[in-house]
Chain A
């Protein structure tokens, strides 16, 4: 099938329009973070760096940033261990129910956020666990596992099992084979998965609102301060900072691992195994 010249032009125009649709709102937010005025009217009259300085000095913002980093690191660490273990099991073993593992791991992000959030909230409340950083980490880890799993599994499927077999034939035990053969091949995919997990945890809102109690992560700080007009200039700055801090890990992840894609690829595996 050869697309007609008209079709080609139309598709090209559509592509540019979609890209504009995706990027204009992000550009607008970046511009507003330099807006000298306290209102959100367009067009912007004057640009300033004042609010960036104020945001950096704001103790509430600093606390929230620190909480976000701790939650992200905690969730990523758990996701790294559990996701890697699951990917090794699924790629290197044959067992009953293997196809359900992907499905089970995907469930926490495939089901609506309020379900995951509400389920965890009901459990913590009923069990008498106080909501705070710990409960946030549990919640985030649950939906981050699939990101490490997805990356590691894709890598394991591309690398041949014969290297591992050769290693045991040459006398290496299970641990040596894992440390010297499997891990070096897998490491960059694991790191890419970790970066994605951190990025997802860093800007998650819905599950967080159900599990955080009185603490504040950076997105929760934004949510709480949106209703305060005199805080808006600082909110704009924090908003841009959150975009940058969640996009940089993802950008690094795409450099590290060719398998890095959207969560949608896992869904395809579930839909068409």
Chain B
């Protein structure tokens, strides 16, 4: 007591304070305390579940009793690879995801460019909010909105009939490509904001001085765009594409509501619900994981490559 400066209160040596001092000397303990919760949750609830999913994909369903048999075998994967029905569904899903991603990037680029380079700060702020809000507006309702628009006697039919055209979209019917077209538009609509926002952020971070340097060195607008802007913004496009690709890959509501075709998600859901074949559903659900792993590794490489 005698050593303390007069007038300054002496901290009480309470339990909390001692614990605090102990933690201060052992930073790894603090860190452990902070991380235990989030990492524990993810490890148990998420990674643990993914492991169960993976294990379950090797089990099989006893067709007699309808019960899951916990014996390991490759029969589910064999079915996925050899049965042409599932091969077609996998290709259809991946093809749709790719088509949606390309369209999203093409549509997102002009508006993102306008937001980042031409809009005044006030307009830019308004545009960001205008793009951000619908991203959060109910996903299901947006699919439903397109179901209404595509319907026979719906708004699209009504808009095209005066000029003598028939709607190129169909929710159910014999022309499969009309269903794909309807589904394609719906997916592009759903995931477009996920592409616009990263591209905008990527464009906004490009230093104007780089573009001026390109002009000063004789680069015309087209050249500057191709050789300066595009390479710099490419990682942002890749970042956006992770969402457009992944979200399409795992969707089964939109195919159910605006088409009558089957995607990976539809098969998985039907096997969990109606067929009660958990092992097969688990096996098919690992296919998007595999595809996304490859995609994410590629994305990481694309981003890293641009920064060399």
Contacts and interface: CB of A to CB of B under 8 A. Distances in A.
A40 B278 CA distance: 37
A90 to B, nearest CB: 9
Contact of B239 (A141, A202, A209, A271): A271
Interface in B167-208: 189, 192-198, 201-202
A243 B142 CA distance: 9
Contacts of B110: 10-11, 14-15, 18
Interface string B228-249: 1100000110111011001101
Contacts of A108: 42, 46
Contacts of B197: 261-262, 264-265
A261 B265 contact: no
B140 interface: yes
Q: Which DSSP category, helix, strand, loop or mixed, fits chain A's interface?
A: helix
B251 interface: yes
B198 A32 contact: no
Contact of B272 (A2, A41, A121, A145): A121
A204 B247 CA distance: 13
Given A107-B46, A206-B253, A264-B197, A29 B141 contact: yes
A26 B140 contact: no
B282 A122 contact: yes
Contacts of B306: 272
Given A41-B154, A115-B250, A3 B288 contact: no
A49 interface: no
B38 A86 contact: yes
Interface string B102-123: 0000011011011101100000
A239 B144 contact: yes
Contact of A173 (B16, B28, B264): B16
Interface in A41-97: 41-43, 78, 81-83, 85-86, 88-89, 93, 95
A112 B134 contact: no
Contact of B264 (A104, A114, A240): A114
B166 interface: no
Contacts of A85: 34-35, 37-38
A113 B265 CA distance: 9
A246 B56 contact: no
B300 A271 contact: yes
Contacts of A235: 144
A15 B109 CA distance: 10
Contacts of A194: none
B148 interface: yes
A22 B282 CA distance: 35
B282 A118 contact: yes
Contact of B53 (A26, A32, A122): A122
A112 B289 CA distance: 8
A25 interface: yes
Contacts of B289: 111-112, 115
A188 B242 CA distance: 29
Contact of B214 (A1, A118, A196, A240): A1
Nearest to B199: A264
A199 B135 CA distance: 11
B72 interface: no
Task: Choose among A11, A86, A210 the residue with the greatest number of B CB atoms under 10 Å from its CB.
Answer: A11
Interface of A: 1-4, 7-8, 10-12, 14-15, 18-19, 21-23, 25-26, 28-29, 32, 39-43, 78, 81-83, 85-86, 88-89, 93, 95, 101, 104-105, 107-108, 110-116, 118-123, 125-126, 138, 141-142, 145, 149, 168, 171, 173-175, 196, 199-200, 202-206, 209-210, 219, 222-223, 226, 235, 239-240, 242-243, 246-247, 250-251, 254, 260-265, 267-268, 270-272
Contacts, number: 325
Contacts of B53: 115, 118-119, 122-123
Given A1-B214, A42-B153, A262-B193, A82 B236 contact: no
A247 B212 CA distance: 40
Given A115-B53, A250-B136, A261-B201, A270 B300 contact: yes
B3 to A, nearest CB: 15
6 contacts: A18-B196, A28-B148, A105-B38, A112-B265, A174-B30, A268-B201
A26 B134 contact: yes
B242 A272 contact: no
Contact of B137 (A115, A122, A246): A246
B21 interface: yes
B114 to A, nearest CB: 4
B88 interface: no
A4 B222 CA distance: 10
A173 B24 CA distance: 9
A25 B142 contact: yes
A4 B221 CA distance: 8
